Each structure stands twice: as C-alpha cells, then as structure tokens.
Structure 1
Amino acid sequence: MASASRSRKPPGIITALSSRHPQFSAAVCPLHPGRVERRMELTGIRKNGAFALIVIAWLCVAVIAGISLYTASGWAPVAIAVAVTLIPSVIVRSGRADSTARIILGGTMPVYPAIMLYQAAGSSLQMDVHMVFFALLATLVVMCDWRAIVAGTAVIAVHHLGANLLIPAWVFPDGADLPRVLLHAVIVLIEAAVLIQISLQLEQMIERQAEARREAERLEQEAASTRDAIAAKQNQVIGALGQGLKAMARNDLTARIDQAFPEEYEQLRADYHDALEGMRQSLEKISGVATRIDESAGDVSHASNDMADRTERQSATLHDTVATIRTVSDSISDTANRAVEARHVLDAAQGEAEKSAGIVERARVAMTNIEHSAREIDQIIEVIEGLSFQTNLLALNAGVEAARVGEAGKGFAVVASEVRALAQRSADAAQDIKTKIGASNEQIALGVSVVSETSETLERITTRILQISEFVATIAGSVESQAARLREVNGTVGALDGITQQNAAMVEETSAAARSLAEQSRTLAQEISRFRLQQTGSYHAAPALARAA
C-alpha cells in the first residue's frame, strides 16, 4: 500500500499546476517532489513579501513627496524615487519572485532613506534619518532570502562611503566622518547578520513545514486507502451480520454465517455464533423452566387453597380460644379480687385475735394475781387459826384458874368460856374460810389454767390466721399473676388471630399470584414457541405448556 502511494503524483500544489500547465510539469518533474513542494511554498511566501515591500516603497515615495513640500527641496527627489520604484513594481506585478527580483528589491529599499537623507541635509533631523536605513533593511527579511539582505547592505555601504568621500553633506551634517561611517557600517553588518540568520531559519522552517505537510498528505492518503480497505471489510462484515440479525428478527435462531470474515473480524463471527447458540440454549432452558414453573404454580395454587381452608379453620379456632381465654381471665380476675377481699377479712380477724389474745393475757395475769392474793389470804387464815388456838389455850387456862379461885373467879370463868367459844368460832370460821379459799384457789387455778390454754389457743389461732393470710396473699398474687399472664396470652392469641387473618389474606394473594404465574408461564411458552430453535424447519414449542394452555 505504501509503495502504491509513493507511485502516485505529488499531491497538492504540484498536482494542480501539473494538470493546468503541462510546461510546468515538464520542468519540475526531474526534481524531487518534496523539494518542488517546498520551493512552491517558499515562492508563495516570497511573492507576498515582495508585494508588501512594494507597498512600503510607495509609502516611502509619499513620505519623500511630503518632505519635498515641507523643505522646498524640489521635485527631483520625488522623481528619482518614483523612477526607482517603477522597476520593482513592474517586476512584482508580473508575478516574479526569483532571486533577481529579490536582489532588485533588496537594493531598492535603501535608496529611499538615502533620498530622505539628502532632503534633510543641514537640518537637525539628518542624523535621525539614518534610523530609516536600519528599519527598511529589517523589512527585507520578509523575502526569506539572504541575497536581498546582502544587496541592501551593499547599497547602504556604497552610499555611505561614496557620499562621505564625494558629498559629505549628504550623509552627515558636520562633513566627512570616516569613524562614524565605520560605526554605522558595523551596526548595519550586525543587523544584516541577524537578518540573514533569521531569513535562513525562516527558509528552513518553511521547508520543514512543507515537508511535514507533504508527509501529512501522504499519510492521509495512506490512511484513506486503509480506511477504504477497512470500510470494505466492515461492509462485508456488516452485511453478513445484517442478514443474521434479520433472521434473528424473524425469530430464526438457526441462521449461521457460513461466509468467512476477514481475519481481524473472524472472532466477531465466532462471537455471533456463540451468542446465537447461547440464546438458543437459553430459550430451550427457559421453555423447560416455564413448563416446570407452570407445574409448580399449579401445585402452589392447590397448596395455597388448602392452606387457606386450614387458615380459616385455625382463625375460627383462635377466635373461640380468645373468647374462652377472656372468660377464664375474667373468672381469675374475680377470684383474685375475692382472694384480696379474703386477705382483708383475715387481716381483720388476725387483728381481733391479737386483741383477744391481749385481753386473755391480761385476764391470765389478773388470775395469777388473784391466786397469789388467795395464797396470802390462806397464810393470814393460818395465822388467825394459830391465834384462835392460842386464844383457846389461854381461855382454857383462864377457866382452870377461875375454877381454882372459886366463886370469885366465876365471872372470869364465864368470860374465859366466852373467849374460848369465840376462839373456837374464830377457828371454825377460819377453817371454813380456808376451806372456801382452798376451793376458790382450785377454781382460780382452774381459771388460770383455762386462761393459759385460751391464750395459747388464741396464739395458735393468730399464727394460723397469719399463715392463712400469707397463703391467701400468695394465692392472690398467683391469681393476679395468672390473670396478667392470661391477659398476655389473650393479647398474644389475639395478635395470632390477626396474623392468621393476615396469613389468610396472604395465602389468597399467593393463590392469585400462583394463578397469574401459571398464566404468565403459558404466555412465555407461547412466545418461546415462535422461535425456531432446531434445524428441522419447524418452530420449537413447549408441549406441556401448550396442552396446559
């Protein structure tokens, strides 16, 4: 491809000029195509530069005319300037930009500051006009040719040296000044050297740009050829793929691409076949899965219906259970209230029993005190009996002594007899009191014993009442706890009833979803049956689903 590209005619300007001007083609064909292209590029730039210099030249003529009007130097300088300008103008107008034309332009440009220097002779501006030489010399760089710069430099040197020797007033206001001429010459040479270097670099840069442009055009042609070849291959590939895709659009998954692709696209054909085979296998699997989905959907539907019936029965049972638990909970709550009331009654009975125990205890203490008092009375009676016995003995002794006395002691004997009788009655009364006090002591002891037994019985009753109160409190707490648990159970069962009802609704939704899934699976089977999956010429269908549909 590269050799074919190199055998073609040079592109761009050379091709156009060769086709329009056969004589040009015959002249440049022996040259290297790249060099000719660079020459043409550089020639165009130099023509543009020459036109710019002609414009500057005529501007200088206008300036010279203005100076003539201002300084009254006559029209000779203007005529000379016009005459000098006409020659390069005619050359440029003819379209020339060869080395001769460039040298003429290079030698023409310093003439204008020389004329201006003549016009400014004797004025304060004469030295300033020397700057115009440097400025116009710098404009020659647009020609991209060192010859024009050398020509301009030579004209400046000849003018300064000749005028300094022949007519010094035309150069410097103070007359001949060779050192100043040499200084100006050095400055001009430095400027010329820099300008020559710039022009050479510009020429090289333009040549490199032309070469780069030509290389870009060559690469563009090669790229175009490559694109054409690639486009042809791509058209072949796209056409074959288009036929395959049209077959796929007709639901035919057996259409293969038998025509071989270019080597770089052969993998695409293999990928197409792999994708086609993958789609065919996937659709066959989907068909089988759709059949199994339809069967499973039927099983799910039956199971959902059965579950719905069971859920309804379970919901009814849970509803009855909730009512029963609510009744039991109410009964337990009533029992708990009764237990609390019984506890309050037992607490009151315990208080009364404790009060009775206190009273009995005080009675027991009183009986004990009475018993002690009876014992003290018994001791006093024993003392009285002792006194009666002593009194009786004394009365007996008094009677004996009165008998001994006789009549004189009869009255004393009567008194002694009475005292003895009184002592006897005191002894009898004391004995009787002792007997009664003994009997009373026995009753008191019996009462103390009964009171003690009563106190102990009341203590046991109080203890039993306390135990019963604790048992009743425990029972009341247990009943209350059971009532709370039954309420929790009632709430849980109620929530379970709600969940069961939700489950019933979800089961109904599941049943509906199963029916919808069965319908969708049948629709999927019908859609799959539209695809041709075998090479037998018939389209694949799912028999089980077709029968189910």
Structure 2
Amino acid sequence: MPEQTQTFESTQAEAVKVLGLATLAISVVMVAFIIFEKGNVVLALGGAVLFSAVALIAGRLPARTSRILTAQALVGTAITFNAALMGHALQIDSHMLYFAVLAMIVAMNGIRALLLAAGTIAVHHLVLTFAMPALVYPTLSLSLNIERTLMHAVIVVMETAALAYMIIKRIELNRILEEGNAKTLAAAEDVRQALASAQQEKTRAEAALTEAQKATEQAAESGRVAQDALRSNEEAQQERDAMRADEERARTNRDQALAHLLDVFGRHLDQLSSGDLSTRISTDLHPDYEGLRTSFNDTVTRLGHAMKEVREQSGSMQVQSGEIAASANDLSTRTERQAAALANIAQSVQELNASLNTVAVDSADARKLAEATSGDAAEGSAIMEQAVRAMRGIEESSNEINKITGVIDDIAFQTNLLALNAGVEAARAGEAGRGFAVVASEVRALAQRSSDAAREINLLIGKSSQQVSSGADLVDKTGQALGGIKESVDKITRRLQSSADAMTTQSRQLSDVNTSISELEGVTQQNTAMFEETTAANSLLSNSAQALSDMVSIFVTDATIGMPMTGENDGYAKAS
C-alpha cells in the first residue's frame, strides 16, 4: 500500500480515537454542568455513560463502522445534553453543541458518518417537536417550535453541505495524491531502468572502444614488425653493397636500382608504421622495376659486346682470358647469393601481407561491434525521451492538484467568513448567543486549520514538481550524453572502415610486389645459368687463345678492352 494511503487511513483511525476521548470529556463536562445547573442528573449521567462507552468501543471496530458509531455517539451526547436541560433557560443554547459536533465529525473524513449524524439530528428535532417538545425547546408553542426546527434544519443542512463538500474534496485530493504518488513511483522506476540501460550501453560502448584501440595497437605492432623486417633488409642490402663495391659498374647500377626499390618500400612502410593509413605505393614503382630488369638485360648485352671486343682484340684476349674466367665465376657466386636474398625478401613480404590481412579482419569486426553499439546508444536515447515525457505528465498532474488545493483554501476562507458572521450575530444576541459564539469560534479555527493544511499540501506539491522537473532535465542530459556517445561511435566506425579498406588495398599491393620479387628471383637464377655458360665459353675461348696468339701477337696486351660509353649503363661496359 502506498505511503500516502497509509497516512490518510491512519489519520482517520487517529481521529476516531481522539473523538472517542472527546465524547468522554464532553460527557464529564456535561454531567458536571447539569449538576451545577440543577438539571436532570439521571438522564445526563445515563446518556454520558452510554454514549461514552459506544465511542470508546467504536475505536476497535472496522474503520467505516467505527466512524459511524463515533459520530452517533457525539450526536447522542448532544441530544442528552439538550434533554437534560429540559425547562432550563439555557436549553435553547444547548443546540450549539449540535453544530459543534458536526464540525468535529469532519475530522474523521467520513462522508457517511457526517450524513448519518446530520440525519439523526434532523429526525430527532422533527419527531420530538411534535412528540415531546420539552426535550428539545424550552417553550411548548408548536408553531414557534416548528419555526425553530425549520431554522435549525436549514442551518444544519447548510453546515452539513459545506462540511460534506470539504470531506469529498479531501477524499478526492487523497485519491489524486495516491495516483500522483503511484505515477511518481512508476516514473522513478522507469528512470532507474533507463539509467541502468544507459549505463549498460555506455559499458558496451567503452568495451567497443577498447576493442578498437586494441585493433589499432595490433596494426601499429604489425607496422613495427614490418619496419624491423625492412630495417633488417636495408642492413643486409648495405652489407651486400659493401661487398659488391668492387663489382662491375653494371652490377653496381643494378644493385643501386634494387636498393632504390627497397628504399621506396622502406619509406612507405615507415609511413605505415607511424600510423599514416593514407599512404599509397605509387604506380611508378612497377615501371622502375621493369627498368631494373631492362638494365640487367642491357648488362648481359654489353657483356656480349665486350666478349666480341675480346675476340676482335685477340692479343688482349690471351692475357685477360684467365681474369675473365675468374670474374665470371665470382659473379655467378654473388648472383646465387642475390637469389637467396630475394627469396628471403619474398618470404618477409608474404608474412607482412598475412599480418595486414589479419588486421583488416580485426578492423572489420571492430566496425561491426561499433555499429551495434551505435544502435544500442540510439535505443537508450529513445528510452530517455520516454522518461522525460512521463515526468512532464507528472508535472502537469501536480499543477492540477495545485488548483484543487486552491479551491479548498477558498472554501476554508468562505467558512471562516461564515463563522465570523455567526460570531457577530451571536454577539448581537448577547448572553443568549454566547454558546453559539463558542461554536462559531471553533468552526473558524477548523477552517483556519483546513486553509493551513491546503497551503502545506500546495508547498509539498510545488517541491515535488520542482524535483520532477529537475529529474526530467537530468534524464534529458543523459539522453544528450547518449547521443554524443552514438556520434563518437559512428566516427570510430567510419575510421575503422577506412582502416580496413586501406589494409585491404595494401595487402593487394604487397601481393603484387611479392609476385614481382618472385619474377626477379627467376630472372636472377637465369642469370646464374647464363654466367655458367659464359664460363664454359670463356674456357673455349681460352683454349682458342693459344691458337690465336700468333694472330694477335701484333696487338698490345695491356690495351683497354672496354672503351668509354655514354648512357645510364656505362658502368656495365667498363666493368666488363
């Protein structure tokens, strides 16, 4: 049961107990007053005992029954007091107790108890006016008593109507407060669930961001591995360059072309390891590689020209044939080493290609996870919007309650004015209206308490409305934060997509490079075979040199074999 309902019912039960004790107190005062005024003590004492017992026992009965019996006990006490003053000058003043009793019954907030009490008073006055008027009025004039009964009935009806309206409004206000409390609890639960869902979505987004960071770190690590492999290749290339420093200019040019190719790969891999995913290997590399292979073929061609020059210069051939054979053997050995180095480079490029493929797959997975996180964040934002609308509805209900409390305050003000007018009329009546003035004062005090209670309720509702508005603002800010998370996740998704596309492109380009290196390895092996054939031919030339020695004896043996040449491959001829 909501706390508001418990407070209202406990207030009713407490009012029953208080009015039970009030009945006992009124009975004691009534008996003392009757004894002092020399009224009917037996009737007063009997009524006091009977109705006090009923009021005290009523507190132990069910709620509605206890309120009705307590109200009847109060009315019975007033009837007893009226009858005990039979024939006394103050008997007409005892009627003020009826009005006071009706006002006291309002404290129990029981509409049935109030109406039954008013009905009991009406039946009592109507019946006894004709049956035993002495128990009601001090005079026996039937016409005067009827006029008094009608006047009292009108006053009782007016007071009962006002009090009944007040009770109805209190009950309606309590119902509205219960509904508002239930809506507030439901909205609070919705907000709690929405915040929990937002926290879960935030956790998922953080996890997705962590996965993306891990994928980025793996990509960086792969780049560092590739850079290390390239650095190792560069160091090996430098060693090979130092060993081939004394080779022919053709060999030097070819190694320079290969070093240039590796240098281009080194620059681009350095850019990749530094995190620049927009780097691309330019298409100029492939023509450069074809130029290197063409240079090598030109070297072989120039070597053939050199051999022709040797045949033409038979005198020098006899002297240098042994040196040519030794140089050819050395060149064949180094070419074999170059083929092995190219095989190692091809394997490194394959491993780098596999690493890039793995990074591309991880980037695609991270992108899918980021897209799912973005959808969850959008759903959490929609839940926040629903919570804000629910809180705005609660705030509107609070405004309606404020209007109702304003009506109650106006009723209390009007009741206060009526009580004030009744007091003025009682003052004009003098001694005869003193009792009525007391009742009017009590009614006025009761109206003031009702007004104070209405204002307190209005203040509480105002605070509740402010808290609900603050809660709506917080939920709205939470929705905006979720929107920011969604935008960040979308940015991460786009960047991951770009990274995956770049990785795929680089993997495809490395595959092309690997194919080219494999072709270069085949060409190098063919060159090795050609050098072996050259060695065999040089042996034949060496055998023929003796036969030609007489023919070339006219030549100078220390003459320059290779004449200076122009063009980018001059070094090949000089080395030959």
Query: What band does the TM-score fall into relative to the shorter chain?
Result: 0.3 to 0.5
**Which structure is higher in RCO with an 8 Å CA cutoff and minimum separation 6?**
2
Larger Rg: 1
Q: TM-score scaled to structure 1, two decimals?
A: 0.40
